[in-house]
Copies of this chain bind each other. A is one copy, B any other.
Amino acid sequence: MSTTEDEYAKYGYGRGQRIGFGQKPAILVIDFQKAFVDPEYPTGGRPLILSAVKATAGLLREARRRGIPVIQTVVGCSESKRDNPHWKVAICHELILGSDGCQVVEELRDPSDVVLPKRVPSIFFGTPLATTLVRQGVDTTIVTGCNTSGCIRATVIDSFSYGFRTIVPAECVGDMEEAPHWANLTDVDRRYADVIPLSEVMDYINPLQYAA
């Protein structure tokens, strides 16, 4: 992801730097749930997201074979309105955790994955994710899912803030729309994360092997 030459680049934001991979990765899969993927849902069937699901399926297959932890999340609401944050998104009030729209899509599911449901944008907020990562000695998160301009952005910020090396394989994240997708990738690439081609992530995980 090359950052456009702008004020930010001038002042040393992200120019050519790389954070780089660490010793032990985990794959985070954000909100690849029926409501955002399956074309039967009004918010589903969007091209960037469908293609990100496909790319992520390949990544997860390799990751699981190598014993790399895969942690998924879905977003939704508690039935009790009083428990949810002040979403301005109609769909978030309709998506009740546990309902069909909050199921991980079939092509990405695996019994070995951990699924941590959430009611907020970031998979870190209000979930035991930090514990799971510390417990397994993870120092690098590979962030996939949707929407780039929503829950991906929030997850990248938190992953960075906890001190993890944060990597976004560009093909594995998607958004309902092109413009916010690219704008958010630019924002995070110049500050918090390496936005790189999926092939580089594959090369990195290729030689890794962990006990299940």
Provide the residues of chain B in CB contact with A165, threshold 8 Å: 86
Known A150-B187, A180-B183, A184-B187: A128·B135 in contact at CB below 8 Å: no
Integer count of this chain's copies in the complex? 4
A177-B134 contact, Cβ under 8 Å, with A13-B89, A19-B86, A163-B85: no
Interface size on A, residues (CB 8 A): 74
A147 to B33 alpha-carbon distance, docked (Å): 32
Q: Answer yes or no: A137 CB below 8 A from chain B CBs.
A: yes
Q: A130 interface residue, CB < 8 Å from B?
A: yes
Across the interface, A7 reaches (CB within 8 A) one of B86, B153, B176, namely B176
Task: Offer 12 A-B interface pairs, CB within 8 angstroms, sorted by A.
Answer: A8-B176, A13-B88, A13-B91, A80-B114, A86-B160, A87-B191, A130-B162, A134-B163, A134-B164, A135-B163, A153-B157, A180-B183
Chain A interface residues toward B at CB < 8 A: 6-8, 11-15, 17, 19, 23, 42-43, 46, 69, 78, 80, 82-91, 112, 114, 118-122, 125-137, 139, 149-150, 153-154, 157-158, 160-166, 176-177, 179-180, 183-184, 186-187, 189-193
